[in-house]
Amino acid sequence: MKKRLVVIGAGMASGRVLEHLLDHDPQGWDVTLFNAEPRGNYNRIMLSPVLSGEKTYEEIVTHDDAWYADRGVTCRFGESIVRIDRARRIVYSNEGGAPYDKLLIATGSAPFIIPVPGKDLPGVVTYRDLDDTNAMIAASANAGGKAVVIGGGLLGLEAAAGLKLRGMDVTVIHLMGHLMERQLDPAAGYLLQKDLEARGIAVHCKGATKAILGADRVEAVLLEDGTVYDADLVCMAVGIRPETRLATDAALEVARGVVVNDHMVTSDPDILAVGECVEHDSQLFGLVAPLYDQAKVVANGLLGQDAKFRPVQTATKLKVTGVDLFSAGDFADAEGREDIVFRDPARGVYKRLVIEQDRLIGAVMYGDTGDGSWFFGLIKDGTDITDMRDTLIFGPAYQGGTGADPLAAVAALPLDAEICGCNGICKGTIVTAIEGGATTLADIKAQTKASASCGTCTGLVEQVLASTLGDAFQMPAAQPMCGCTDLTHEDVRRLIKARELKSMPAVMQELGWKTSCGCHVCRPALNFYLLADWPEDYTDDAQSRFVNERNHANIQKDGTYSVVPRMWGGMTNPRELRAIADAADKYDIPAVKVTGGQRIDLLGVQKEDLPAIWSDLNAAGLVSGHAYSKGLRTVKTCVGTDFCRFGTQDSTGLGIKLEKRLWGSWTPHKVKLAVSGCPRNCAEATCKDVGIICVDSGYEIGVGGAAGMDLKEVERLAKVATEQDAIDMTVAFVQLYREHAKYLDRPYKWLAKVGLDWVQAQIVDDAENRAALIERFDLSQTIYQRDPWAERATPQAHQAFGPLADLTKEAAE
Amino acid sequence: MNWLDIGALNDIPQRGARVVKTVHGCVAVFRTGDDQVFAIDDRCPHKGGPLSEGIVHGHAVTCPLHNWVFSLETGMAQGADEGAVATYPARVEGGRILLDAAQLLKGRAA
């Protein structure tokens, strides 16, 4: 007598089980196949080509009616299972029962729906089966429709690409910092985003969906950051979870999925489970390769053969035509692991191999994945790669050869290529000078003016010298930014601007960073360069900032912090002083000190008290003094004409105006200003980054002073007649410094490199450029002039400053 | 091991850290860029700097006070500096961070 097998769910895994089972034992089983969808097995992986129109449904059917009929499979499609009666071994659907000897649960997974308002509006779809696909195809019929895909993982990106091919305007919203973060590292995610954007798909990373808006049907998607995207169709593809309801109701052991042993048997020996609904060894499965392995184990088990499921490494490829990416194995950083990274920015190629104990354990590739399966083979086989290590990254076809000539790029430049932007000097002019006898950088500067101004092209000029003179030129050892790159700060700044690099992964990829995510030296510098050059495009990264700027307070040697409210131009009043005194009492502040910048420092505040003390001070109208930042610190003033019998101008008023204009701006290093009302200079303006001395006939503006490690008197930038001119010159100077200086160079150090002449030419002599600098500064301020205290007044922020957990009350065992 | 749920992975920013207070002092719990978690003593052996406030890069953290760099996996100081901090077993399961309570409550790992 035939044994009765009932299968719940006609997916890819159960389809494969039936193939194995009925091929090997065509007479042994009486199979009943239930499927809630009114159709049989089809290749779900190929839904993407169906969506994009590259294939039809008929082409992706794996088992047609004839296949089931030939094998005597009873198909009950369109019936939902309501109950499993384990005691009597009967499965009940909404239309009747079916007895079993063995039951196979293959219920797959359900799409995860983010619980936001509007999730049930018509026009919101998931991407799981043919009906979803058809709904999306129908929605894309209106030309020029707008689609928002929530989720930048495999499925979401395939949906986005398909909808784009169908002619929709597509935006992808992704919660994490880069696309496909489970399969790709940030560098590869960046390249993927760039490719998708080049195809016209907009990508919004770090975007949390707050609500789906619409009256009768979906109209738009609102993000937590306030961004709104119009939408005629919203596809949620944020993930899946195992469909375990039947198993749970039947009291089988269920964790995240239906728990199975190595034989794919559940806690009931007559019930097996396979596919995306199972959990094996605490692991869930979503890719097809392990599901097929499971199917084989299930079939073998039913055939009475011993077989055990052992999950193997899986590789990922994105099925978007023309996007070439591959990832396999484990590519997390860990002790004892080494990276081999290869980047070819010009071709958009990134390859990273992760090696542990002379074996390849992970690989991520983008742009050129031809060797993917070879690397995957090495990972699966655990091949010892010691002998091929030097050339491993080049793949199996590596034929030997020498490393790329670092000067090749410069040597290949045409003679009319511009080298020095400040002075408009092209390569030909420099080469002519070299042929005329110039042999050093100083010669070139003197004869052509190249690199004689802002100096960021110095490296290029040296490379022209090297490639023209050959061995006769001794390349000076440039100081690289850090161990992650051979480029200098100046090179990196120049390239960020020239190549419009607008994110940290973009910089690291395009400039060939040697580490996967930088270090404590380069990350803060890059964060500043990016936010200074691309205020509208770049998102400030708190985790790439030093502790003081992340916590908006100055860390002290004992781990406590100091809190300094801003006192505009050094002015205060009884109300502010009372609020400060109250805060000092309330939070038990151990020390209160007057600073050199004319304000009051509360020292010794505990980190978890910071948001509360800020909130109290905010309530009295006080804002952060940024006493911790690489940014505007203070504008020190004297009392000026208001009270002083020697004062020539309203120095206090000018100081306050400057502070109100400049506060909140980030700069390469700290910036301190002062305004003195007369040449007696009570505000000590002659040793500040910008110091203004008021005189009867106007304002003398000095720049590049210092009274720290070095003592330096300011140099005269200009003398101007009006207060407005003084403000304009100051703002333009600060912006020029923001745009050109090396991170952690105070203005005086930067000035020594570029020269006062150049700065004057930019700001004083060129009114148009001055206005442009001011405009760029003001644009940046619209984004960055925010009081960090007020921004951290939320309960979430309060929580983030406290401990994650407090176990001091727990007893030891 | 006695695994104790001390919070959600998302309570810690990527490449960031939070502290867990114990009777023996604070333990810093790090979340790296690849979403792994590590727990080490929140006290630099050099001058007592709070490591939880350092910049996280790869599986290492740089002390905010004087830039000593520690491996999050071994607790060993990297490069020319010599020293180590205690490490504690930590893992992530279903988006929750689990620490070994026995070790935490007992104090420093052996």
ipTM summary value:
0.91
Q: Which residues are CB-neighbours of A402 under 8 A, at least 6 positions away? A: none
Mean pLDDT across B87-108: 85
The pLDDT score that the predictor gives to residue A454 is 61
Same fold, A3-110+242-302 and A113-238: yes
Reported as a single tens digit per residue, the pLDDT across A771-797 is 999 999 999 999 999 999 999 988 888
Distance CA A551, CA A563 (A): 11
Specify the range with the lowest mean pLDDT, choosing from A54-68, A340-354, A388-402, A461-475.
A388-402
Q: Say if the Cβ atoms of B58 and A515 lie within 8 Å.
A: yes
In this model, does residue A84 exceed pLDDT 60? yes
CB A551 within 8 A of CB B53: yes
Say which CATH architecture domain A324-394 belongs to.
2-Layer Sandwich (3.30)
**Which whole number is the average pLDDT over A415-437?**
81
- The arithmetic mean of pLDDT across residues B54-72, rounded, is 92
Average pLDDT over residues A188-210: 89
Say which residue the tokens 């390239």 belong to: A495
Please give the distance of CA A315 from its chain centroid, rounded to a whole number: 23
Tell me the mean pLDDT in the region A609-623: 94
**Residues A703 and A741: beta-carbon distance below 8 Å:** no
Of A350, A77, A341, the C-alpha closest to A193 is A350
Q: Averaged over A564-582, what is the pLDDT?
A: 95
CB atoms B105 and A523 under 8 Å: no
pLDDT at A447: 82
A691 within 8 A of A674, measured Cβ to Cβ: yes
Q: What is the CATH number of domain A632-784?
A: 3.30.413.10
Q: Which of A626, A687, A682, A692 is nearest to A655 (CA)?
A: A692
Q: Please report residues of A whose CB lies closer than 8 A to that of B102.
A: 813
Could you confirm whether domain A547-624 is CATH 3.90.1640.10? no
Report, as an integer, the average pLDDT of A703-722. Answer: 92
Mean per-residue pLDDT, A34-39: 89
Tally of CA atoms within 13 A in the half-sphere of B52 that contains its CB: 27
A4 burial level (CB within 10 Å; 0-12, 13-18, 19+): middle
Statement: residue A702 has pLDDT above 50: yes
Least confident of A377-381, A599-603, A612-616, B2-6: A377-381
Compare CB distances from B7 to A804, A808, A812 and report the shortest one's residue. Answer: A804
**Residues of A whose CB is below 8 A from B58:** 333, 515-517
Cβ contact A669:A696 at 8 Å: no
Pairwise CA distance, residues B67 & A364, whole Å: 31
Average pLDDT across chain A, whole number: 88
Q: Are A7 and A106 a contacting pair, CB within 8 Å? A: yes
The C-alpha atoms of residue A488 and residue A742 are separated, in whole angstroms, by 9
At the fourth CATH level, which superfamily is domain A113-238?
Answer: FAD/NAD(P)-binding domain (3.50.50.60)
pLDDT band at A250 (very low <50, low <70, confident <90, very high): very high
The listed range with the strongest mean pLDDT (A421-425, A492-496, B1-5) is A492-496
Contact assessment for residue A525 and residue A514, using Cβ atoms and an 8 Å cutoff = no
Quick one: pLDDT band at residue A398, thresholds 50, 70, 90? Answer: low
Q: Compute the distance between CA of residue A149 and CA of residue A157 in angstroms, rounded to an integer.
A: 8
Question: Residue B102 is nearest to which of A520, A559, A813, comparing CB atoms?
Answer: A813
Domains of chain B and any CATH numbers: 3-106 (2.102.10.10)
In chain A, the residue whose alpha carbon lies closest to the alpha carbon of B8 is A804
Q: What is the mean pLDDT of chain B?
A: 89
Q: Which CATH fold topology does A3-110+242-302 show?
A: FAD/NAD(P)-binding domain (3.50.50)
Higher pLDDT, A446 or A687: A687
Where are the domains positioned within chain A? Answer: 3-110+242-302, 113-238, 324-394, 408-540, 547-624, 632-784
Q: Hey, are the CB atoms on A804 and B6 less than 8 Å from each other?
A: yes
**Are residues A804 and B15, on separate chains, in Cβ contact within 8 Å?**
no
Amino acid A379: pLDDT: 85
What's residue A793's pLDDT? 82
pLDDT at B101: 82
CB A326 within 8 A of CB A377: no
A220-233 pLDDT, tens per residue?
999 998 899 999 99
pLDDT at position B53: 95
pLDDT value for A767: 94
Classify domain A408-540 by CATH architecture: Orthogonal Bundle (1.10)
Contact between A803 and B20 using a beta-carbon 8 Å cutoff: yes
User: A765 near A708, Cβ under 8 Å?
Assistant: no
pLDDT at A476: 66
Q: Is the pLDDT of residue A277 over 50?
A: yes
Tell me the β-bridge partners of A340: A353
Q: A803 and B26 in contact by Cβ < 8 A? A: yes
Nearest to B13 among A518, A543, A555 (CB): A543
Please check whether residue A5 is in contact with residue A89, taking contact to mean a CB–CB distance below 8 angstroms: no
- For chain A, what percent of residues have pLDDT higher than 70? 95
How far apart CA A404 and CA A255 sit, in angstroms, is 53
Residue A486 pLDDT level (bands cut at 50, 70, 90): confident
pLDDT band at B108 (very low <50, low <70, confident <90, very high): low
pLDDT of residue A399: 30
Residues A749-773: tens digit of each pLDDT:
999 888 899 999 999 999 999 999 9
- B10: distance to nearest CA of chain A, Å? 11
